[in-house]
Amino acid sequence: MKHLITCILLLLTSLAVYAQTPAWATNLSPRIANYDISVKLDTAKKTLTCKERLNWRNDSPDVITELQFHLYLNAFKNTKSTFLRSGARFGRLPDDELGWGWVDVTKIIDENGNDLTENIKFIHPDDDNEDDQTVISVTLEEPIRPGASANFDIDFISKLPRIIARTGFAGDDYYFVVQWFPKIGVYEEAGERYATEGQWNCHQFHASTEFFADFGVYNVDLTVPEGFVVGASGVLKDEKSNGDGTKTVTYRAEDVIDFAWTASPDFTVIEDKWNRVDIKLMIQPEHEHNADKYLGSVKNSMEYLAKHVGDYPYKTLTIVDPPLYGIGSSGMEYPTLITGVPGFTIHEGIRQIETVTVHEFVHQYFMQLVATNEQEEAWLDEGFTTYYENAIMDHYYGEKTSTTDVGGYHTGDKEDSRLRYTGMKNPSVAPCATPGWEFKFGGYGDIAYGKTGAWLEMLKRMVGTTTMDNIMKTYFERWKFRHPCGQDFIDVVNEVVLREHGDKFGDDMNWFFDQVLYGTEVCDYKLASISNRVAGEPVGIFDKEGEKEWAAPEDEKETEEENAEDEIYKSRVVVQRLGEMMMPVDILVHFDNGDEVLEKWDGKSRNFELRYERPDKVTWAHVDPEQKIYMDLNFNNNSITKEPDDTPIKKWATKVLFWAQNVLQSMFFFF
Amino acid sequence: MNPIAIFFRGIWDTFRLFKMWLLIFLLIFVLAATVAVPFANVMQNSIGQSLELQKLLPEYDHTVFSDFRNVHGDKLSGILGQLFWMAPLFLLFYVFMSGGIVKAYDQIGQKFSFQEFWGNCTRYFWRFFRLFAWLLLFQGVLAGIVYGVAFFIVLGGSWDNLRTETPIINAAKIVIPIHLILATFLAMVGDYTKVRLVKHGNWLVIEEFFKAEFMCIRYFFRTYFAYLLDIVLLVGIYVLYWFLAGKIGMASTSAILIMLIIQTLTMFFRLGTRLFALGSVNAMYDGIYAKENPASEEEAEEDEATVVAPVALADTDRQEDRVEDEFDEEDQDYNEREHITDWSPYTGDGGKL
Ligand SMILES: [Zn+2]
């Protein structure tokens, strides 16, 4: 019987899954933008001479008469680009012609032979910078009908810059080639994400924003010098020598949103495996001692995310360890290819390589598989990635030791991320939901990464780990290989929380997102005071049998006095809300007989008091004792104890005394 | 002149000057306390009643400490800022005290008096200050040369040639020890210069510096070995400290008290190693001087007040018309004899610096 029920349940489940499976079920993704590109690298001129065949499908109900493309490399053509105008510094500007980068589309022809080259014009959808050349519009001679596909042959030359914003060359022979080809924008039909009508989503390249693209298949032939070791997104299909000192390697990447590659004669390749994923570590020989840090942390990430979010569906993962002189390409994520940080390990307890590797791998889920718009909603990729980076680092390397653990000084990744936000000079500088290029007064990283990480952790602590896992699994399964927006995530949260907690948090969680995502309020709850007084008899003049009778006051005793056996205490605990953010909080009150009472407060009023009349005094009280409200700017003011123990102060003052003497004595070491 | 004997002699003489040692230590301790006590007060007044405070007892807690710093950072940076300006001022004061310290070793065996000590501090300050300025310059030039040469050898003078961090790490393994050896040698020459300035009453700081340098080079192994022993002792003190700190921890009042005592002793003996070095330099100098000048050795033996150094020698024919510090008359004899020593390339006619 039990088996029968199980079988029926399984059948129903698979039917349900089948019913939800999208039309492109045979492939992993909708495969809208597909590229076949052949590339010839000229190592002297630092150019890529390329032929691209783009196959694009109109997945909308609209007739398409114009295409839009990103020409990212033009951000590095001159200082008039929107990218370089922003003043964001990615190292110094090149002092030679070779250092600048650009991309020229020399020819574009549609499948019917119409030459569209003359129809190319630069546009600037985000600002009025006429000189920005990072987006082009190409008017079509023959419109593309809904559901139809079209092919375009595009000839282009990409001049690589000396590495800036991760892309380019360094030294003579290190190439990290990303954002390098004319990449079609995303056409959003009305109702998709925030589109109210059909529109191209093709933003200019800004210094503080990343990318947004449709899924597709890439077949790329890379012709490079024979001695170069090549790594790229996807799977290596072929490698053949051309007999002229060059070789051509062919990669195929399926169901991805971008294609990145690297080449250098210096890489050492170390191969590893996790389940069915082939992991390829391309490491500099001088960093080989870091191999275990890279491979260990990436396998930890794969294990954790498979358990808490979903499966990594690709067959390969390439980790690139850049050389020191190519450090500008470090710490970045591309489909099935990530970069770490170059570094000599000074101490095993400094886990920068692990932290960066974990972070970049998590991006395979949040922005690569769940392909959110990194430009408009950086929090959806950087914030989610921070949240899982924190969880993975703390899980595998210790909650208080995951990022640094050196000689008694230790920090955890999650607390580091929270402090990135709580330590801001102005944590209200902009809401999380601000588009990347509109953080004009700073705070992009601290808000998109730190604040989002903190409120996702807060959400988890409020709804519980199981519910949070279910939220993330549902969000991932529903939106992988698609383009969700923030509201889509909120919808999933509302759905799962309502299903698992009923109306415990209200009809929905919008009140939460209004504050943490769209608002700039900060959160700070404070345990303001505790007082205990002996409850005396009433005093004053009382009417008694027609007479006025005076009840004399006893000495009202302060709590600090001896605890008389039969005394009753009037105790008062006051909690205050210092910030504008309102979150439901618990207050734990501890009495001197060991009793503890957990009180609930909706956290809305400015002040909140708890009163007790009992034979025990309140010894301490703690608002939010489990630190669920992880965005609270100051946990130290969340509690007060009437029996403080200053031993820790003695300890740290002693340490400071020692340090200060050391500083003073160091002054005359050489004199 | 056996460096090991001289090393122990430096320690022994320092214990004989225990009052002076204690005075300097207490000064440092009190200055450090002016940082530690306000720090404790800020902590007490800000998070003294918080339950979070207890997380700082077993170990460091990044969240508690950072929240504390975020909210009370102004007060903390004020306290740290105090240390920032106090340290160089203290260095100046140390330079001031150096004259008194070196003179005390020179007069070892005589009764130590604070009045005389402060008098000597004042008396030699200007010369010692100039020596300090020269040493600062020389140390800067030395570091510039060592790292500059390394920069040219390893990177051809341009960071653009930096391909990997390996050459830097490898170079650092060689260059930093070389720099430390040369810098300590320079510091040692500085100490010998101090001793010479006190013993000979010369005002020509740079002349005495070069005389000291030539002497140190000529007697390199014994001078540097004796000096190095003090540095080894210093390292040993810290190794012992870290060992004990690791064993004891600071998680209870009694452990904190024990650590306070250990830290205080560590600091006391760290200061001691600096003084031991000055003491042994003084003793070594006397030994070398006696060897170079057999006549003075005889006089030294006659002088009961000092074991090796003939400090209070009679004022003999004074030929130089250079303006001398009025207190320096007694040192003139030393100064005169100096000129006949074969290892000195200078004869005292350098410009006043
Ligand atoms: Zn990221």
- Per-residue pLDDT tens over the stretch B108-148: 888 899 999 999 999 999 999 999 999 999 999 999 999 99
Per-residue model confidence as pLDDT tens digits over B200-215: 888 889 999 999 999 9
Alpha helices for A464-610 (secondary structure H): 465-479, 486-501, 510-516
Q: Which pLDDT score is estimated for A658?
A: 97
Rounded CA separation A382/A374 (Å):
8
Residue A53, amino acid: R
Q: Which residues of B touch A415 (CB under 8 A)?
A: 62-63, 66
Q: A293: which 2 tokens? A: 């840090």
B281-314 exposure pattern, b = at least 16 Cβ within 10 A, e = fewer: bbbbbbbbbbebbeebbeebeebeebebbbbebe
The rounded Å distance from CA B154 to ligand 1 centre is 35
Cβ–Cβ of A324/B52 closer than 8 Å? no
Which residues of chain A are under the pLDDT cut of 70? Answer: 1-25, 88-90, 554-565
The rounded Å distance from CA A518 to ligand 1 centre is 21
Rounded CA separation A296/A321 (Å):
14
CB burial of residue B137 (10 Å; 0-12, 13-18, 19+): exposed
Residue A515, amino acid: Q
Residues 311-350 (A) with a CB less than 8 A from some CB of B:
323-325, 342-344
**How far is CA A330 from each of CA A163, A168, A290, A361, A609, rounded to the nearest angstrom?**
10, 12, 15, 13, 52
**ipTM at complex level:** 0.88
Cβ–Cβ of A671/B94 closer than 8 Å? yes
CB A341 within 8 A of CB A355: no
* Helix B18-47 / helix A647-667 crossing angle, nearest 10 deg: 140
Distance of CA A161 to the CA centre of its chain: 27
Cβ–Cβ of B164/A419 closer than 8 Å? no
| SS3 readout for chain B | CCHHHHHHHHHHHHHHCHHHHHHHHHHHHHHHHHHHHHHHHHHHHHHCCCHHHHHHCCCCCHHHHHHHHHHHHHHHHHHHHHHHHHHHHHHHHHHHHHHHHHHHHHCECECCCHHHHHHHHHHHHHHHHHHHHHHHHHHHHHHHHHHHHHHHHHHCCCHHHCCCCHHHHHHHHHHHHHHHHHHHHHHHHHHHHHHHHHHHCCCCHHHHHHHHHHHHHHCHHHHHHHHHHHHHHHHHHHHHHHHHHHHHCCCCHHHHHHHHHHHHHHHHHHHHHHHHHHHHHHHHHHHHHHHHCHHHHHHHHHCCCCCCCCCCCCCCCCCCCCCCCHHHHHHHHHHHHHCCCCCCCCCCCCCCC
CA distance B167 to chain A (A): 10
The rounded Å distance from CA A374 to ligand 1 centre is 10
Q: Which residues of A touch B166 (CB under 8 A)?
A: 286, 344
Q: In the block, which residue shows the tokens 């077993």? A: B58
The rounded Å distance from CA A298 to ligand 1 centre is 15
* Residue B310 pLDDT grade (very low, low, confident, very high; cuts 50, 70, 90): very low
Q: At A287, is the secondary structure helix, strand, or coil?
A: helix
**How far is CA A564 from each of CA A427, A567, A668, rounded to the nearest angstrom?**
49, 5, 60
- List the single residue in A with minimal CA-CA distance to B230: A669
Q: Which pLDDT score is estimated for B350?
A: 33
Distance of CA B38 to the CA centre of its chain: 28
- CA proximity to A659, closest of B229, B139, B83, B146: B83
Rounded CA separation A395/B349 (Å):
74
Question: Domains along chain A?
Answer: 24-186+198-265 (2.60.40.1730), 406-516 (no CATH), 525-649 (2.60.40)
Rounded CA separation A136/A326 (Å):
30
Rounded CA separation A608/A622 (Å):
13
CB A196 within 8 A of CB A184: no
Q: A6: which 2 tokens? A: 């199980």
Q: Which residues of B touch A412 (CB under 8 A)?
A: 62
Domain ranges of chain B: 3-289
Q: Which of A286, A343, A639 sits opposite B50 (nearest CB)?
A: A639
CA distance B162 to chain A (A): 7
Cβ–Cβ of A658/B267 closer than 8 Å? yes
Rounded CA separation A542/A538 (Å):
9
Cβ–Cβ of A665/B270 closer than 8 Å? yes
Which stretch of DSSP H or E encloses residue A531?
Answer: strand A525-534
Q: Which of A325, A410, A667 sits opposite B87 (nearest CB)?
A: A667
In eight-state DSSP terms, residue A165 is: T
Which stretch of DSSP H or E encloses residue A174?
Answer: strand A174-177
- List the single residue in A with minimal CA-CA distance to B62: A411
Q: Which residues of B touch A657 (CB under 8 A)?
A: 29, 32-33, 35-36, 260, 263
Substitution target in B60, B163, B205, B276 with the highest count of A β-carbons within 10 Å is B163
* Residue B6 pLDDT grade (very low, low, confident, very high; cuts 50, 70, 90): very high
Q: Which pLDDT score is estimated for A343?
A: 79
Rounded CA separation B263/A85 (Å):
55
Q: Which pLDDT score is estimated for B349?
A: 34
Cβ–Cβ of A410/B62 closer than 8 Å? yes
Q: Which pLDDT score is estimated for A536?
A: 76
* Residue B306 pLDDT grade (very low, low, confident, very high; cuts 50, 70, 90): very low
Cβ–Cβ of A639/B164 closer than 8 Å? no
A550 - beta bridge partners?
A541
- List the single residue in A with minimal CA-CA distance to B260: A654
Q: At A457, is the secondary structure helix, strand, or coil?
A: helix
Q: What percent of chain A has pLDDT over 70?
A: 94
Q: Give the pTM.
A: 0.87
